[in-house]
Structure 1
Amino acid sequence: MININWEPKKNNSKPLYKQIVDYIINEISTGNWVVGTKLPSQRQLAQDFKVNRSTIVEAFDELKSKGFIEGNSGGGTRIVNSTWSLLSSKSKLNWQNYIEGSIHKPNLHTIQMVNKLEYKKDIIRLGTGEPGPQLFPKNMMDKILNKCSNKIMSLGYLEGKGLLELRTILSEYLKIYGINVKPSSILIVSGALQALQLIALSILPLGSKILIEKPSYLKSLHIFQSMGMNMIGTKMDNRGIIPAEISKEINNKVNTLLYTIPTFHNPTGIVMTKNRRMEILDLCEKHRIPIIEDDVYRELWLDEIPPLPLKSWDKNGNVLYLGSVSKSLAPGFRIGWLIGPEPVVERLADIKMQTDYGSSSLSQLILAEWIKSGLYSEHLNNVRSKLKIQRDNALKTLNENFADIATWNIPKGGFYIWLKLNSPISMNKLFSQAAKENILINPGSIYDSLNNQNLRISYSYASLEEMKIGLEKLSHIVRSFLKI
């Protein structure tokens, strides 16, 4: 993908089109823009460079005459030479062919932009799904690190399933959620996302069908699609995924798996009721459909404790359970866990050893100390209190600025408010305009490609003041689109 962070100088004696030609040749010759890359449209470049389209046409004509680019009516304009290849008789390696022919699909363009803009200075992150700096327990972390520093004698590789001490501690800790498993049925992973990658690589054949909620966080990733599997969105109501929708997709000739976030769903915030959980579990057991239960938000309840996990009622080993401290403590730990039947855990551990030879030894040692010391439970109480204030602040600001143009849920935990605009607008245009005004949003189209009315508002990252300023600005931007 081509990134442009430059504009020609209009007070320069050199013509605008010449400045653009020089800029593009420099990007090509330094390798920033590789041979085979498709250039943005003339219209888009005119917007990026803030010039007339005729200036771009003139620049393209010169670049074509010099042999740098070629264009046709159907395939757009591509870079076909670099300065080195023009000076050499040998043809230049076309890395773009390798990139486009690879197995793993690229992120959606909007998500690529989100990932880059999150680190732009002074931007207000209204959609970021991680705990903000104000939620980081620095004093507690200091205590834990001081304790651990005296215990660390080496930091070698650990066994495939992860640090035995941590798995033993988790085995005891998870009993409070009705999950009773041996340490040997726990695999330590580098966040729940890696667990999904391992599942896609290790236990599902090509052509498998992955049932997900509609909308779903998983739709924003290409983990399963890149492995040749089909993602099927199934409808939800305010009690969670609808069992009848799952039944429609059952086909005994096709391997099928259900992925669900039943507790503080991402992005809608819905909590699946206990009765619905039992229905889903019974249906999947009857048809022998494995379930991936993504439960990373469980401990972030704000108003009432949610129902127990599906895994707590799983008597036949149908459920692969995912947990993590990325949402509750610190994403930088890159530590999560997968719980499942021992043969499955053994298989995933083998593939994990082939891919990264184990998650961070240091992070596992520190997390073991966090849970064992009791400070993790104390931290959860603190973070819930702060998150509740942040949620209430966001809801208050929404009431003041969006009451006449949108509706939204009142989440009972997790990070997200699922806001629905009363009238559909272009989410791409809204995203771009908001970014120009230093507001970063997560459009609903990330989680459901046909969704042009929803936004995922996260109250976990921005400070109270940033949330207020950001939502006020966003309201003005939305209203400007509704007038058009």
Structure 2
Amino acid sequence: MSSFNKKAAETVTIDWKPNKNLDVPLYAQIVTYFTDNISTGNWTGGQNVPSQRQLAREFDVNRSTVVEAIAELISMGLLETSYGGGTKVTRDSWLHMMHADSSHWKNYVDAGNFYSNHSAVQLINRFEFEPGYIRMCTGELSPDIIQQGLVKRALDHLSEKDLELNYSNPYGSPGLRTAIQSYLKGKGIEVPISNILITSGALQALHLIASGMVPPKSRVYVESPSYLESLNIFQSTGSYLVPVPMDRSGILPWMIPGTSQGTALLYTIPTFQNPTGRTMPLERRKELLMCCLKNNIPVIEDDTLYDLWLDEVPPPPLKSLDGNNNVIYIGSMSKCFSPGLRVGWVVAPEGVIRRLADVKMQMDYGVSSLSQQIAQKLFESGLYEEGLKNIRDSLRERRDQMGQLLERYFSDLAVWNFPSGGFFIWLRLKGKVLAQQVFESALKEKILVPPGSIYDADCSSCIRLSYGFLGEEEMESGMVHLSDIIRRLNLN
């Protein structure tokens, strides 16, 4: 055997441990360690990588940390896996050179304050728009559900005289804010338009709050698990997330620690929570508000899924029960009507709105004027409500179909909830198979399924399924293949 092939057959030597005292996440330190050894040629293509369990012992970290690091290295093309063959350093020397510290720009990229997405999220974002992938991950409407005809009718209502294509008001167009004011009144939220800011979807609203209002080192309480854990919005501005347990009724208010250790706030999705699909009943909402007010904890309510109720109208939003201006309310048309319009809104005290508007003008100088005009016409003409009825009917059929497929193919593999609205069904897998393994195996078969660990590290046996984007045949095909993958992994 040649010396090259002999070295390729060896297992890489681990002689380092991550520093738990650094602010850099442990998985990111492991990624850097692997990248440095591969790009410098210390480890060569074809060499074996120790098992995940062995790496966890070597690095003195949880296995989930190793799983996350390995997944990111695979997405970078530096490692590769094969059934029965374990994990190896890829033989592609060009990829190794790309990740070497050969450009001064890398120093700036690594020094940036904005955290990278979770590796699984990066992979999903990368492949979502590639042809041939079954998107069981997507929290949005299928193109055949989106009400394009109603949007066209809204456009037809805009005469050439009415069409405004210049910059809009920093707070959003007065016409749209007035229309949203009326819409919110139907939910029990009565505010002047000076308390409403138009944003480019709900995600921008969160970025504005995190970057413009929340001091570094603040604690952000979130449900465990939470959609916010799959993002790095608050972490990138120096804050950190603190998971709070849930039961079937939502977050447990009595488990929120309080503010004795510094600045804190709460982020919650009380209606069709992402990823679990749970809805908080009225009494729990009142209890949560009372607890937060008593402990001086301001609340961010993400209510972007409220209009997608499928069985009955949910309890009123937290903001409608808030008599003390303690709740910042975020809404959007993206989930319920059209992601492409990029129209969302924030409801908050006027001083807060002024601050957020000032930050927003430094970012994008306002939401698209055309999108705002279309959204205004949709609300004013009743087309929004008409479209919602059509969308609910279609989503109800898809949810029920996925429920039937779960009973048929997953009854011995998992337990799950059955949501009364929204997009998501939360599965807890039986047996010892990890969701990250399911994610990686499904990805190879062009099925995108988010692992529960991106929503909470303790949810390593959970996956989130979405029924909103899948057609009937595609949904059944995906569910059959996914169940086969989990069965195969359970046998290993």
TM-score interval (norm. to shorter): 0.7 to 0.9
Tell me which residue corresponds to 1:232: 242
- Which of the numbers 47, 69, 80 marks the counterpart of 1:47? 80
- Which of the numbers 95, 108, 111 marks the counterpart of 1:98? 108
Tell me which residue corresponds to 1:11: none
Residue pairs, 1:64-79, within 5 angstroms: 79=100
Tell me which residue corresponds to 2:421: 413
1:94 to 1:144, Cα distance in 2 relative to 1, 3 A? same
Distance in 1, matches of 2:92 and 2:412, equals: 47
Tell me which residue corresponds to 2:467: 459
Distance in 1, matches of 2:161 and 2:374, equals: 10
> RMSD of the TM alignment (CA)?
2.4
Residue pairs, 1:58-137, within 5 angstroms: 79-81=100-102, 93-137=103-147
Asked if 1:375 is matched to 2:368, the reply is: no
- Which of the numbers 353, 368, 374 marks the counterpart of 2:361? 353
Tell me which residue corresponds to 1:88: none
Tell me which residue corresponds to 2:209: 199
Tell me which residue corresponds to 2:19: none
1:370 to 1:453, Cα distance in 2 relative to 1, 3 A? same
1:37 to 1:360, Cα distance in 2 relative to 1, 3 A? farther
Tell me which residue corresponds to 2:287: 279
User: Does the 8 Å contact 1:37/1:96 carry over to 2?
Assistant: no
1:150 to 1:395, Cα distance in 2 relative to 1, 3 A? same
Asked if 1:335 is matched to 2:343, the reply is: yes
User: Does the 8 Å contact 1:264/1:413 carry over to 2?
Assistant: yes
Q: Residue by residue, what CA displacement relative to the aligned partner does 1:110-150 show, whole Å, maximum 9, x if unpaired?
A: 00000011011111111110111121112212211222253
1:275 to 1:466, Cα distance in 2 relative to 1, 3 A? same
Distance in 2, matches of 1:183 and 1:382, equals: 29
Structure 1 residue runs without a partner (length 5+): 1-14, 17-35, 70-76, 82-92
Q: Aligned with 1:133: secondary structure?
A: coil
Letter in 1 for 2:399: R
Distance in 2, matches of 1:168 and 1:57, equals: 57
Q: Aligned with 1:213: secondary structure?
A: strand
- Further displaced range: 362-371 or 426-435: 426-435
Q: Residue by residue, what CA displacement relative to the aligned partner does 1:404-430 show, whole Å, maximum 9, x if unpaired?
A: 111110100011000111123233332
Tell me which residue corresponds to 2:13: none
Cα drift, residue 37 of structure 1: 6.8
Asked if 1:260 is matched to 2:279, the reply is: no
1:191 to 1:426, Cα distance in 2 relative to 1, 3 A? same
Q: Aligned with 2:428: secondary structure?
A: strand
Letter in 1 for 2:365: Y
Aligned residues: 423
Distance in 2, matches of 1:307 and 1:153, equals: 38
Letter in 2 for 1:47: E
Distance in 1, matches of 2:457 and 2:159, equals: 48
Cα drift, residue 153 of structure 1: 4.0
Letter in 2 for 1:212: V
Tell me which residue corresponds to 1:212: 222
User: Does the 8 Å contact 2:254/2:291 carry over to 1?
Assistant: no
Asked if 1:143 is matched to 2:153, the reply is: yes
- Which of the numbers 311, 319, 326 marks the counterpart of 2:334? 326
Q: Aligned with 1:212: secondary structure?
A: strand
Over the matched positions of the two proteins, sequence identity in percent amounts to 43
- Further displaced range: 144-153 or 379-388: 144-153
Asked if 1:177 is matched to 2:187, the reply is: yes
Letter in 2 for 1:315: G
Distance in 2, matches of 1:415 and 1:58, equals: 41
Tell me which residue corresponds to 2:22: none
Q: Aligned with 2:288: secondary structure?
A: helix
Distance in 1, matches of 2:268 and 2:238, equals: 20
Q: Residue by residue, what CA displacement relative to the aligned partner does 1:380-438 show, whole Å, maximum 9, x if unpaired?
A: 11111111000000000111100011111010001100011112323333212111112
- Which of the numbers 286, 292, 302 marks the counterpart of 1:294? 302
Q: Aligned with 1:134: secondary structure?
A: coil
Cα drift, residue 307 of structure 1: 0.2
1:172 to 1:481, Cα distance in 2 relative to 1, 3 A? same
Q: Residue by residue, what CA displacement relative to the aligned partner does 1:323-357 show, whole Å, maximum 9, x if unpaired?
A: 00011111111110000100000110011011111
Cα drift, residue 252 of structure 1: 3.0
Cα drift, residue 57 of structure 1: 9.2
Structure 2 residue runs without a partner (length 5+): 6-33, 49-73
Q: Aligned with 1:122: secondary structure?
A: coil
Distance in 1, matches of 2:82 and 2:250, equals: 47
Distance in 1, matches of 2:220 and 2:92, equals: 47
Distance in 2, matches of 1:279 and 1:57, equals: 54
Distance in 1, matches of 2:185 and 2:468, equals: 27
User: Does the 8 Å contact 1:326/1:333 carry over to 2?
Assistant: yes
Q: Residue by residue, what CA displacement relative to the aligned partner does 1:140-195 show, whole Å, maximum 9, x if unpaired?
A: 12211222253444411112110100001111111111000011100000011111
Cα drift, residue 56 of structure 1: 7.0
Distance in 1, matches of 2:405 and 2:90, equals: 46
User: Does the 8 Å contact 1:424/1:452 carry over to 2?
Assistant: no
Distance in 1, matches of 2:89 and 2:245, equals: 46
Tell me which residue corresponds to 1:392: 400
Cα drift, residue 253 of structure 1: 4.4
User: Does the 8 Å contact 2:310/2:396 carry over to 1?
Assistant: yes
- Which of the numbers 189, 198, 215 marks the counterpart of 2:199? 189
Distance in 2, matches of 1:57 and 1:120, equals: 23
Q: Aligned with 2:290: secondary structure?
A: helix
Q: Aligned with 1:354: secondary structure?
A: helix
Q: Residue by residue, what CA displacement relative to the aligned partner does 1:185-214 show, whole Å, maximum 9, x if unpaired?
A: 000000111111111111111111100000
Distance in 1, matches of 2:268 and 2:198, equals: 20
Letter in 1 for 2:142: G
Tell me which residue corresponds to 1:308: 316
Tell me which residue corresponds to 1:166: 176
Distance in 1, matches of 2:418 and 2:90, equals: 51
Q: Aligned with 2:222: secondary structure?
A: strand
Distance in 2, matches of 1:178 and 1:228, equals: 35
